[in-house]
Amino acid sequence: MSALLEVRDLFKTYGSGETATRVLRGLSLRLEAGEMAALLGPSGAGKSTLLTILGTLMKPTSGSYEMLGVDMISADDRALTDFRNAHIGFVFQFHNLLPDFTALENVIFPVAVREGRETPAARARSRDLLVRMGLADRIDFPTASLSGGQKQRVAVARALMNGPELVLADEPTGNLDRASAMQVMDLIGEINRKEGTTFLISTHDEKIAASCRRQIEVGDGMVTG
């Protein structure tokens, strides 16, 4: 395996003066291509902060970050947006789906907006992803009518739409029952094995973490295990 990304000595402080919150304090981490890793740590440890930085949505206060050989710290916003669209997918706890749009429309939407049109190839890929997520019979249903687990699987399909090397998931199963959570994890695991997509998944759930091949523990602003 080769390094997909590496961060070194990351510091992140929110605010300043008396209200400053020093969240990351010298965090270093390397992810290899094809890893499936859980991100663990107590509430407030900085898991979401780290995912936001790795997703290039926020810069650290200091430290280095390289992904696919590109320096993410010196890149400007335009370059970061292009990089993110091409290489990184996101799944959040509350999925951020458009409720009145169908599953297919939600998966295809970000691509359609970016390219200004919906190509037949994009439609075919989004259908294929939804089928792989076990949603063949829900493709044309508005997402408002889907269960929590089904919505989360639509969100995973959407994150995979551009064929990203890295998917960052912030408590993707946090609001699901055990069976639905495990189903989402099984499907993520299948994509990881078959496509080599790297997943970094923050969770408070030991069983979810155990279903990942690697567990990364964050505490005191650093990786502790």
Residues in contact with ligand ATP by CB under 6 A are 14-15, 21, 23, 41, 43-49
CB of 57 to ligand ATP, least distance (A): 11
**Which conformational region is residue 101 in: left (phi greater than 0), alpha (psi within -120 to 50 degrees), or beta?**
beta
Q: Which is nearer to ligand ATP, 106 or 173 (CB)?
A: 173
Q: Which is nearer to ligand ATP, 2 or 43 (CB)?
A: 43
Beta bridge partners of 36: 199
Phi first, then psi: give them for residue 211, nearest 5 degrees. Answer: -80, -5
Strand (E) or helix (H) holding 5: strand 3-14
Strand (E) or helix (H) holding 62: strand 62-67
Q: Which is nearer to ligand ATP, 49 or 102 (CB)?
A: 49
Tell me how far apart the alpha carbons of residues 93 and 38 are, in angstroms, rounded to a whole number. Answer: 15
CB of 78 to ligand ATP, least distance (A): 23
CB of 91 to ligand ATP, least distance (A): 14
CB of 68 to ligand ATP, least distance (A): 24
Tell me how far apart the alpha carbons of residues 43 and 1 are, in angstroms, rounded to a whole number. Answer: 31
Tell me the pairing of strands 21-32 and 3-14: antiparallel
Q: Which is nearer to ligand ATP, 14 or 136 (CB)?
A: 14
